[in-house]
Amino acid sequence: MPKKQSYFNVLPSASGEASLILYGEIGDWSELSSAKVVSSFMELERSYQKIDVRINSVGGEVYAGMAIYQALVNSKADVTIYVDGIAASMAAIIALCGKPLYMSPFSRLMLHNVSGGSWGNSKELRETAEHMESLQQDLARMIAGRLGKQPEEIEDAYFNDGKDHWITAREALELGLIDGIYNLDDEEGSLSDSSTAEEIEKYFTNRLNNQALKDKDMALLDELRRGCPAITASMGDAEAAHAVAEMYARLGVKDEENKQLRARVEALEGEANAALLNEAVSSGKIAEAQRERYAELLKAAPEETRELLNSLPARKSAPRAADYIGKENGPSNRFAGRSWKELDRSGDLVAFKREDPEGFNNLYKETWGKSYED
């Protein structure tokens, strides 16, 4: 049995087969870039003889699709293609590459003339047009071979009118475009013959995502069995899931303790920052009016702000009006110890300024963070 490996967009099976998933738009901007898809397919060829290609795509870039098309055409592996949902435009060309092709009951093929864009000089643009015409002729010959018709008939039927031609699975089987219709294993009732292309594409994408989620859950349980002593190899899936739930419950208690610890650390940091700002203001490193700004800086860049505050030179504080209380030749005690607001309310600011200009200026600076200017 080939060794299991993990590839891009690949679902390996235990029976020695693998599926390459082409779900989404094809192009070098997307997950379905030619480099990723072709390299993944070539890796699969080394380990798997049987490769299924499953398509649910509205198409995309011509050249990216051409690279994928050529990889499938030239493969020596046993390749079978399944259109799960939509195979439109370039995705239809990939689907009709000559390998056995099956469609789900409600899937759609869409054929139209090859379209695309390019840039460059006139020679490069002509080469692009020639490539597109050649690809369209190849597709017409391939379809003609499947249907027993001439390539010109196919071009007239699907390409030359410039329209989109949607083909159901039943129509494709009747025309001989496909080799059969495979049955959905469940949930058939969610689709019908009248379902739109968008509904069909979305339905199969959701199915794939749900299956991928189940596979991920199973892989997680396998990983836990290997790496966690509490989950033994003998446990069933339900027992293992229960053990995981108990572990998460215990982790929840630890998480609450961690939250409390983080809150305490934040509180201590806040106290330290407040003490640092008080010291900076009292030493004259910053004015009181600057406190809030530095508090914001401490939250945004604590280390850098602490370093800045510690580097600022201290300024000797000028004497306050209250410092004159009881001293000879000092100003009148009626101004001492009173705030700017109190002096303003009592109408004493003018007298304070006249009798004690220095005290007035010091109190102004304490209150407003700058010296008084006449």
Categorise residue 187: left if φ over 0, alpha if ψ from -120 to 50, beta otherwise: left
Q: Which residues contact 79 (CB under 8 A, 6 or more apart)?
A: 51, 52, 53, 72, 99, 100
Annotation says 131 is catalytic: no
Annotation says 112 is catalytic: yes
| Catalytic site residue from 57, 89, 104, 107 | 89
Q: Report how far residue 50's alpha carbon sits from residue 70's, in angstroms, rounded to the nearest whole number.
A: 18
**Distance separating the N- and C-terminal Cα atoms of the chain:** 95
| Catalytic site residue from 19, 33, 104, 112 | 112
Q: Residue 337, class by beta-carbon neighbours within 10 Å (0-12 exposed, 13-18 middle, 19+ buried)?
A: exposed
- Give the residue numbers annotated as catalytic, written as ranges: 89, 112
